[in-house]
Chains A and B, each alone.
Chain A
Amino acid sequence: MPDTLNKKNTLDQKESLQPKMVTVEIEGKPFQVPAGITLIKALWYAGQDVIRGVGCLGGFCGACATYYRTKDDPKVKTCLACSMAVEDGMSFSFMPAFPARKATYNLLELKDPKQDLFTLYPEAPLCRNCNACTEACPQHIDVREGVWKAVFGDFKAVSEMFMDCVMCGMCAPVCIADIAPNLVALYASRAQGVHFTEKPEGLATRIQEITDGRFQQEWDRILKLSDEELQNTTAATT
Chain B
Amino acid sequence: MELTDQRNLVHQTRDARRSKSFPKLSPAERDSLIKKHHPDHRAHAYRPIIFGPNAGQSTVTEVATLLEGESPVPADLDLTPAYSVDVLVVGGGGAGCASALHAHAQGANVLLATKLRLGDSNSVMAQGGMQIAVASDDSPVQHFLDTLKGGHMKNDHQLLKVMVEEGPSIAKWLLELGVLFDRDADGNLHVKKGGGSSKARLLTCSDYTGLEIMRVLKDEVLNKKIPLLEFVAAVELLSDAKGACTGAVLKDLDNNRFIVVAAKTVILATGGIGRLHIQGFPTSNHFGATGDALVLAYRLGVPLVQIDTFQYHPSGGVYPEQLVGALVTEGIRSEGGHLVNAKGERFVNELDTRDVVSSSIIRECEEGRGVRTPSGRVGVWLDTPLLDVEHGPGTLDKHFPAMVRQYERYQVDIRKDPVLIYPTLHYQNGGVKIDVNGETPVANLFVAGEASGGLHGRNRLMGNSLLDLMVFGKRTGTLAAERSKSLPKSSLTLDHLKRFRAEAKRHHVSAGIISPMVLPAYTNK
Q: In the assembled complex, which residues on chain A have CB atoms less than 8 Å from the CB atom of B375?
A: 16, 18
Q: Chain B's nearest CB lies how many Å from the CB of A198?
A: 4
**Given A9-B366, A51-B231, A222-B141, also A4-B372 (CB < 8 A):** yes
- B 177-197 binary contact with A (CB < 8 Å = 1; else 0): 111100100111100000000
Judge if A165 is at the interface, Cβ distance under 8 Å. yes
A126→B318 CA distance, assembly (Å): 46
Q: Known: A18-B375, A210-B168. Is A203-B134 also a contact (CB below 8 A)?
A: yes
CA distance A45 to B524 in the complex (A): 5
- Given known pairs A61-B124, A186-B215, A215-B139, the reply for A11 and B183 (CB within 8 Å) is no
Binding stretch for chain A, among B282-290, B384-392, B462-470, B500-508: B282-290
Residues of B within 8 A of A111 (CB): none
A20 to B223, CA, bound (A): 49
Q: State the CA gap A189–B139 with chains docked (Å).
A: 30
Report the separation of the CA atoms of residues A47 and B522 in the bound assembly, to the nearest whole angstrom: 9
Query: Of A1, A194, A227, A238, which one neighbours B176 at CB under 8 angstroms?
Result: A194
> Does B281 count as interface, using CB distance less than 8 angstroms?
yes
Determine chain A's interface SS by DSSP, over half rule.
loop
B260 at interface, CB cutoff 8 A:
no
Q: How far, in Å, is B357 (CB) from chain A's closest CB?
A: 16
Most buried by B among A14, A51, A200, A231: A200
Residue of B nearest to A206 (CB): B168
Nearest residue, chain A, Cβ from B366: A9
A107 to B219: give the CA distance in the assembly, Å. Answer: 11
Find residues 486-506 in chain B having any chain A CB closer than 8 Å to their own CB.
none
Q: B117, A198: Cβ atoms under 8 Å?
A: no
Check B370 against A9 for contact (C-beta < 8 Å). yes
The residues of B with any CB-CB pair to A shorter than 8 Å are 1, 6, 27, 39, 42, 116-117, 119-122, 124-125, 133-142, 144-145, 148-149, 153, 157, 161, 165, 168-169, 171-172, 175-180, 183, 186-189, 198, 205-206, 208, 210-212, 215-216, 218-219, 222-223, 225, 231, 253-254, 279-282, 284-287, 318, 320-322, 324, 326-327, 342, 362, 365-372, 375-378, 401-402, 405-406, 409-410, 422, 519, 522-525
26 inter-chain pairs at a CB distance below 8 angstroms, sorted by A residue, are A5-B342, A9-B365, A9-B370, A15-B321, A15-B324, A16-B377, A36-B321, A41-B522, A44-B524, A59-B402, A59-B406, A61-B124, A63-B120, A107-B177, A107-B178, A163-B208, A186-B215, A198-B183, A199-B175, A200-B183, A200-B189, A202-B135, A203-B134, A207-B168, A233-B145, A237-B138
